[in-house]
Structure 1
Amino acid sequence: MFTSIITKKNITTIVILFTHLLCLAQERLKNPLDFAKEYPTSSLTRKFIPPQKILYTSGHINNSEALLAKGIGQADLSNQNMCVLKNIGDGNKTSLLLDFGRELHGGVEIVTGMWKGNKPVKVRVRFGESASEAMSDVGVKGATNDHALRDFTTLLPWLGKLQIGESGFRFVKIDLEEDSAELQLKEVRAIFTYRDIPYVGSFTSSDERLNKIWETGAYTVHLNMQEYLWDGIKRDRLVWVGDMHPEVATINSVFGYNEVVPKSLDLSKEITPLPNWMNGISTYSMWWIIIQRDWYMHNGNLTYLKEQQQYLSSLLRQIAAKIDENNKEQLDGTRFLDWPSSENEKGIHAGLQAMMVLSLNTGAELSKILGDSETASICEAAVTRLKKYVPDPNGSKQAAALMALADLMPAKKASEEVLTVGGVKDFSTFYGYYMLQALAKAGDYQTAIDDIKTYWGAMLDLGATTFWEDFNMDWLPNAARIDELVPPGKKDIHGDYGAYCYEGFRHSLSHGWASGPTAWLTEHVLGIKVIAPGCKEIQIIPHLGDLSFAEGTFPTPMGTLWVKHTKDRNGKVKTIFKAPKGVKIIH
């Protein structure tokens, strides 16, 4: 009989051996992707969109319609149903222009077939927000490669795939570059890159033009909600804090909370140590303050607001110190409201005076919420001084709007003497939002509705699927649409116009600051106004104007608010609504 003697030493050896074997097993089961866990991920979705139309071809090209199929993104050996481009050595380049149907953010994926020689083929790829921009050369009519490349030459592989580009575009032109060359295209698909988030807010009324404008403003901002909240997806692609204000108003009305907003606000704070101004512009630091209030009112996140307290208090004191002995603003940095008003120095001064009042009033409100009575008192004293001096808006609709909103000028006077003069003449896509807000404050709701349909609607009439960096009604006569090649004798609405930093094709046709009507229609036509932090109290006072009904939804942290207003034959408006639990409605 064999007797096993178990000792403490034996047990220790067994435990060590077992542990070693277990570690080896775990090592074998380790995920090969574990190395990547510490690196950033993307919250963006990519979808592959085929062209909706072949807008133009030249040279020797066969079966271009094959590119309109959905595609699968995979090359194969069958080499069937190819779009074939050939250059025959006569000095002419074969090319085609693709229309993807609407403005997109992203690049393109090109899948190729087989041709003789098995060598890569050189092509030129041009992106455009208009058909004419996609046909343009860099340096002509303002066409540029600033910030995002939209015009470049590359090699396409034989029987392979290439993904290229990251810009804002609707149109893509492909030129076969080399003489006596052949290119077989299986697929050309847009790589649509976006945040896959629901449109919680909505707006429908008896006027389809208004409905389309609301939707277009929402979509414009959605495209600019990339890693950060940008002003435009083709050019700049930067966080400009002033531009963010109408964008955030739209996000609050359509999407509700999204991390892109605090992420962008925090970035702006982190890269702007005081006494610097955000983006080098004093008003942009002031817009940061106002956005913080709007964001807090919608989401009610006091913890996040407290994280801003130290910077906010110092910034408010910095602004309050920029008043001279005559109670006039003396702001340094870039003195800027928007581009169309940038040559009206008196108007800018009036606008800056009003912006100081607006931001310091907001600062006092936030300081009280944060329990900072000392900073609140500084803000209130500064506002009292500022209101003793009322500057002349000098005919600037931008300045008059801000003065009305800051109570430096009666809203009715601003409306009658400045804002309604010439209709939408001298409107701008950015400050048009504040002009609409001032008209609402004056009770001129129908005027504002008409202005929205006239000014923003004109961009839709020209083929826009997103709203533009700027637009001037003087550009309309004899202008061609952006979704067609400019006919002889017509004006190119994209290449022939623009000013300042947006001359010609440099002009961005998807600019989030132009989305103001979306937020305005929700606030004033649907009548939804948040009056307690976190949307815990919402006031509903509709202003239908000549609409027979308006219906929509609004995102809150507790759920979705639904409201519908219907006007009877006598003009009386009946309102019904359904509010989520936790939201008190004042009606």
Structure 2
Amino acid sequence: MATQNQKDAIPKWIWHPERERRQSFELVRRFALERSIAGAEFRIALTGSAEVELDGMVVGRMEESAANVCAFLRVEGFPSRLEAGEHTLRLRIRCEAFMPVVPINIHLHERSAGCIAYLAGESFWLATDDSWLAGEEAAAVVCLLGEEPYGDLENGEEWFVAGGFGDIEARPLTGFSFPEASGMSVMAAEDSASLHGTGQGIIELPEPSRQELHIFYHVRKQAEWRERNEALRASSAAASLPSCMIDLGREYNVRFRFRNHSPHPATVVWNGAESLPELANYEGLITEIVRLEAGETRITLPQGLRYFRLYAMAEEGLPIELEWRPEEVGVAMKGAGSLRTDSKLLKDIYDISVHTNRICHQIGLWDGIKRDRLNWTYDFYLAAKADYALWDDLSVLKRSIEELGRGTPEGYWMNAIPAYTLWWLNNIWEYYLHTGDKEFVLSLDTEIARHCRQVERNLDPATNELLNVTPTLIEWVPMNEEEGRLGMQALLRMTGDRLRRLGGYIPELSGLPDWGYPEIEPDRFLRGEQLITRLLGILSGYVGREEGEAFLRAYEAQDPITPLSAYWLADCCSMFGLQQKAWDAVSRVWGKMLEEGATTCWESVTLEHDGDFHDALTTYTAYDSYRISLCHSWAGTPVHWIVARVLGVEPLEPGYRTISFDPRPIPGIASCVGTIPTPFGPIMAGWDNGSEDPIVLKLPEGIGRR
């Protein structure tokens, strides 16, 4: 009997095993009921059109529309009562337009077609999975609920928040405040608020047009938000609506639970933002609509924000009585990493880096929670550096590594960026170094070999130079073609060195290359206009110690600089014993964020500017101002710098079997002691000048020190 526990049966996106090569086919599921059920409801989302048939009778049709992939749509003609006995549910599917696949999202090429659905009734649950038939074959699982390119779907069950991997939780959020209210009285409790006002009429805002399919979920949402917010701002009546502004206290991936306690319908329109200037000025603000019948409760899909402006609408003169509850949404990370220090600034930088990293653990190790709600290869490579120093469970990182590694086919660069494939290969080594998880690395043997071949086929056999490397996204700052090529050769050398180390520990890996690297004079790196060019020259070994130290001693952090380059700068300075220079870079860049009230780490930083800080941010070559994310996981790298370059703990052998311990005190800081997770248990390390023995090192059994 096909009754299932809901928590074990979140629906999956499925299709014919031939994927988009099969445009027309049937999905079939037979099930038996021991007794009749009431309250039956069938909901579906898919690419294409569907004819829904139950026991030989057509009960509903859906015409093909881009909107079909955005929500679980109810099949209105589906019978609400199902009798005991055998039943056959048949979906006749035809798809003309598939999810777009372009080089930047090539890793999703097997997800361009999909169908996800569920049948719910009294004590009954049936969801799409590989137990369905696609023609005469078992259906193929395309991806899990929440994964790209489909993302979150509207009109699903509340518990679908767990996502396809089942590990995302929604937790009550506290610590919020109401800085402003107009025409609305607010009564706040610890984890909720009651909002009361009087209706001033209804502003009709457009529903999203949803005329096209998008490469990523967040790209679609940004287009919809801009359309709605422009309509809201264009209405002269908006200023008279009962409204309030809420500060969540910190940025979160958050959903809202609204209940209408009034006997009349009400509508909520809300804007979300990461900063107050963004909330006041950005045309593309998060803008969502919640329509509530009398007594109804509705829950929004989660979005990333800190500030929230709510407008309440009802017919003129009618009472508005709303209950609002915020819930943080994310994987509940179990942390073993911690830091204790007498430096408030160092601790604050550590704390916002930890918070940034934690809240980006979602269906994947996301780049951001407002924009870029997905896995970018280089970005989660950098985010992983904090993961290793913080968490016992690296499941989210592993599935991000798998998505890009398994999904990117032969002959393609990850995310269409040559550097990203190289960073992915570096990530494999760093994952193994920190975990000793040989089984996971070997599970990627085929993928490692495939991506190494992609590099090898672009090597000049005479010079070992990596060719065909445009676009060379080494850094966001403007970079000429020569510097881009230099950066790629440095990255090639770093990657080759790490793959040789990996092969030394895991000789079973079948496709590891032993490529060389071109000979390049160090002056070519040191003449680079951009900081990252010189840093990559140092990190790769092209620039020797004497020249590298001379450059680092002379360099002062200045615009244009990004958190990305600032991290590598601090890392290099510490490795050369220039700890004060390293701290100057970290404290200036992340300290600037804290000066502006940051609770998470930014995608970009502008040290000197006129006007508001958010409007001054830029990636120089792609976008700027309020579109810039103020929560980007890769900018949480100070965690790694603190652990490896301040506390001084680094694994020398995979899985921390042997470590180096070289604490590097920062002038003016008297104590800094932290814990670092390892497969053997946490290490405690650092220094405390107020103790009889100022150097602190406690190793769990099984870890040696060299």
Q: TM-score when scaled to structure 1?
A: 0.81
Q: Name the counterpart of 1:485.
A: none
1:338 equivalent to 2:460? Answer: no
Q: Which AA in structure 1 matches 2:505?
A: I
Shift of 1:136: 4.2
Q: Name the counterpart of 1:110.
A: 258
- Determine the C-alpha separation between the residues in 2 that align with 1:270 and 1:215: 34
Partner residue of 1:125 out of 267, 270, 275: 270
- Determine the C-alpha separation between the residues in 1 that align with 2:201 and 2:446: 69
Q: 1:281 to 1:82 in 2, by over 3 A?
A: closer
Alpha-carbon contact 1:220-1:466 (below 8 Å) kept = yes
1:574 equivalent to 2:687? Answer: no
Q: 1:322 to 1:183 in 2, by over 3 A?
A: farther
Alpha-carbon contact 2:314-2:320 (below 8 Å) kept = no
The DSSP-based 3-state class of the residue aligned with 2:288 is strand
Q: Name the counterpart of 1:404.
A: 538
Shift of 1:446: 1.5
Shift of 1:183: 5.3
Shift of 1:558: 1.5
Q: Which AA in structure 2 matches 1:291?
A: N
The within-5 A match list for 1:16-31 is none
- Cα deviation, 1:89-141, whole Å, max 9, x if unaligned, reads 994223211111100102211222215xx2x223321111112323445xx3x
Alpha-carbon contact 2:436-2:655 (below 8 Å) kept = yes
Alpha-carbon contact 2:575-2:645 (below 8 Å) kept = no
- Determine the C-alpha separation between the residues in 1 that align with 2:404 and 2:289: 35
* Stretch of structure 1 that moved more, 391-400 or 452-461: 391-400
Q: Name the counterpart of 1:53.
A: 177
Q: 1:527 to 1:496 in 2, by over 3 A?
A: closer
Alpha-carbon contact 1:218-1:515 (below 8 Å) kept = yes
Shift of 1:403: 1.1
- Cα deviation, 1:253-281, whole Å, max 9, x if unaligned, reads 01133101111111101221122011111
Unaligned runs of 5+ in 2: 1-33, 36-83, 85-121, 130-143, 145-163, 203-235
- Cα deviation, 1:299-356, whole Å, max 9, x if unaligned, reads 111121112223323423432443444554323352111212x433332222111111
Partner residue of 1:70 out of 191, 210, 222: 191
- Cα deviation, 1:406-428, whole Å, max 9, x if unaligned, reads 00112553454368533343321
- Cα deviation, 1:209-241, whole Å, max 9, x if unaligned, reads 101111111110111110111101111211101
The DSSP-based 3-state class of the residue aligned with 2:672 is strand
Q: 1:398 to 1:306 in 2, by over 3 A?
A: same
Q: 1:344 to 1:443 in 2, by over 3 A?
A: farther
Q: 1:523 to 1:311 in 2, by over 3 A?
A: same
Q: Which AA in structure 2 matches 1:578?
A: K
Alpha-carbon contact 1:52-1:68 (below 8 Å) kept = no
1:557 equivalent to 2:687? Answer: no
Alpha-carbon contact 1:201-1:253 (below 8 Å) kept = yes
The two structures, once aligned, show a CA RMSD in angstroms of: 3.0
The within-5 A match list for 1:473-484 is 473-475=607-609, 477=610
Q: Name the counterpart of 1:484.
A: none
Alpha-carbon contact 1:50-1:189 (below 8 Å) kept = no
Shift of 1:199: 2.2
Q: Name the counterpart of 1:453.
A: 587
The DSSP-based 3-state class of the residue aligned with 2:245 is strand
The within-5 A match list for 1:162-311 is 162-177=298-313, 180=316, 182=318, 184-311=320-447
The DSSP-based 3-state class of the residue aligned with 1:391 is helix
Q: 1:124 to 1:364 in 2, by over 3 A?
A: same
Q: 1:166 to 1:71 in 2, by over 3 A?
A: closer
The DSSP-based 3-state class of the residue aligned with 1:562 is strand
Alpha-carbon contact 1:124-1:151 (below 8 Å) kept = yes
- Determine the C-alpha separation between the residues in 2 that align with 1:227 and 1:373: 29
Shift of 1:357: 0.6
- Determine the C-alpha separation between the residues in 2 that align with 1:373 and 1:107: 44
- Determine the C-alpha separation between the residues in 1 that align with 2:685 and 2:427: 26
Q: Which AA in structure 1 matches 2:594?
A: L
Q: 1:136 to 1:51 in 2, by over 3 A?
A: farther
Structure with more strand by fraction = 2
- Cα deviation, 1:532-564, whole Å, max 9, x if unaligned, reads 111111211100021222101010111111124
Partner residue of 2:249 out of 68, 84, 101: 101
- Determine the C-alpha separation between the residues in 2 that align with 1:321 and 1:174: 55
Alpha-carbon contact 1:114-1:158 (below 8 Å) kept = yes
Partner residue of 1:542 out of 633, 656, 663: 663
The DSSP-based 3-state class of the residue aligned with 2:258 is strand
Q: Name the counterpart of 1:510.
A: 631
Q: Name the counterpart of 1:584.
A: 704
- Determine the C-alpha separation between the residues in 2 that align with 1:111 and 1:276: 49
Q: Which AA in structure 1 matches 2:388?
A: N
The DSSP-based 3-state class of the residue aligned with 1:173 is strand
- Determine the C-alpha separation between the residues in 2 that align with 1:418 and 1:443: 10
- Determine the C-alpha separation between the residues in 1 that align with 2:329 and 2:617: 29
Q: 1:350 to 1:333 in 2, by over 3 A?
A: closer
- Cα deviation, 1:446-487, whole Å, max 9, x if unaligned, reads 211122111101101101000011111023x5xxxxxxxxxx
Q: Name the counterpart of 1:395.
A: 529
Shift of 1:506: 1.2
The DSSP-based 3-state class of the residue aligned with 1:306 is helix
The within-5 A match list for 1:411-422 is 411-417=545-551, 420-422=554-556
- Determine the C-alpha separation between the residues in 2 that align with 1:226 and 1:320: 34
Q: Which has the higher contact order (CA 8 A, sep 6+)?
A: 1
Q: Which AA in structure 2 matches 1:130?
A: S
The DSSP-based 3-state class of the residue aligned with 1:169 is strand
Q: 1:279 to 1:573 in 2, by over 3 A?
A: farther
1:87 equivalent to 2:220? Answer: no
Q: Name the counterpart of 2:575.
A: 441
Alpha-carbon contact 2:199-2:314 (below 8 Å) kept = no
- Cα deviation, 1:51-108, whole Å, max 9, x if unaligned, reads 62212223x22x22x0354349xxxxxxxx6532542799422321111110010221
Alpha-carbon contact 1:329-1:386 (below 8 Å) kept = no
Larger Rg: 1
Structure with more helix by fraction = 1
Q: Which AA in structure 2 matches 1:127?
A: G
Shift of 1:166: 2.0
- Determine the C-alpha separation between the residues in 1 that align with 2:576 and 2:634: 23
- Determine the C-alpha separation between the residues in 1 that align with 2:403 and 2:470: 20
Alpha-carbon contact 1:123-1:175 (below 8 Å) kept = yes
Alpha-carbon contact 1:344-1:396 (below 8 Å) kept = no
Q: Which AA in structure 1 matches 2:647?
A: L
Unaligned runs of 5+ in 1: 1-22, 73-80, 145-149, 478-490
* Stretch of structure 1 that moved more, 311-320 or 426-435: 311-320
Partner residue of 1:428 out of 562, 572, 581: 562
Alpha-carbon contact 1:390-1:408 (below 8 Å) kept = no
Q: TM-score when scaled to structure 2?
A: 0.68
- Determine the C-alpha separation between the residues in 1 that align with 2:241 and 2:306: 22
Q: Which AA in structure 1 matches 2:685?
A: V
Aligned residues: 517
Shift of 1:373: 9.4
- Determine the C-alpha separation between the residues in 2 that align with 1:246 and 1:412: 27
- Determine the C-alpha separation between the residues in 1 that align with 2:277 and 2:188: 21
